[in-house]
Amino acid sequence: MLGCLFEIVETLVLTLIIFLVIQNFVAQPYKVQQQSMEHTLEPDQYVLVDKLTPRLDIYKRGDIVVFTPPEDWAQDDGTPFIKRVIGVGGDVIEISDGLVHVNGTALEEPYIYADQPGDPPQATTAAQDRWVVPADELFLMGDHRANSADSRSFGPVPVVNIIGRAWLRYWPMNVFGILPTPTHPELESASP
């Protein structure tokens, strides 16, 4: 009897340790609570946040990331933000004529929010129109530009504030799937 009890406790402790290692270093679930990523991600959907791969590789334009917002923008309950990487260290971000330009080239952004499918996407606006992204920082924006507190308001975000990259939408089941990351070939063809 004592041996059986010991095995149960041992299994529970091992399960807890495995869970904590996975949650803290590999992946963790995240519930979308803001409207800033509509229609890519809707409120109350769940995504799996990859915390391991970004430790081995850099974040890229188009990645969707979960991060701790700047202190002045943090919510009382500590909810992290979720946004898309628009610019990386060294990039010059400019907003003009409703478009986002990276290093002088307008981004093709099919993921930007539109009121109805087939409608034109929202124009991107900002009080400031130019930023230079420092090394080890990211310029982040929501896909629903008119409903997003992002780098247009609080500036680039240090990479150390990034919790991880959202890569899998898993709930509700009818939207289950890997989140695509745009490659932005227009930027590659504009490079010297």
Q: How many residues does the chain have?
A: 192
d(CA 127, CA 56): 36
Tell me how crowded residue 70 is: count the other CB atoms within 10 A of its CB: 16
For residue 82, give every residue at least 6 positions away whose Cβ sits within 8 Å of its Cβ, in sequence order, or none: 30, 32, 34, 36, 37, 41, 47, 64, 65, 66, 67, 166
Selected catalytic residue, list 51, 83, 148, 151:
83
Pairing mode, strands 157-158 and 105-106: unpaired
d(CA 184, CA 139): 15
Q: Catalytic: 36?
A: yes
Selected catalytic residue, list 36, 51, 148, 151:
36
| Residue recorded with tokens 């869970």 | 19
Partners of 96 in the beta sheet? 99
Q: Catalytic: 83?
A: yes
Taking CA atoms, 18 is separated from 9, 15, 47, 53, in Å, by 14, 5, 20, 18
Instruction: Enumerate the active-site residues.
Output: 36, 83
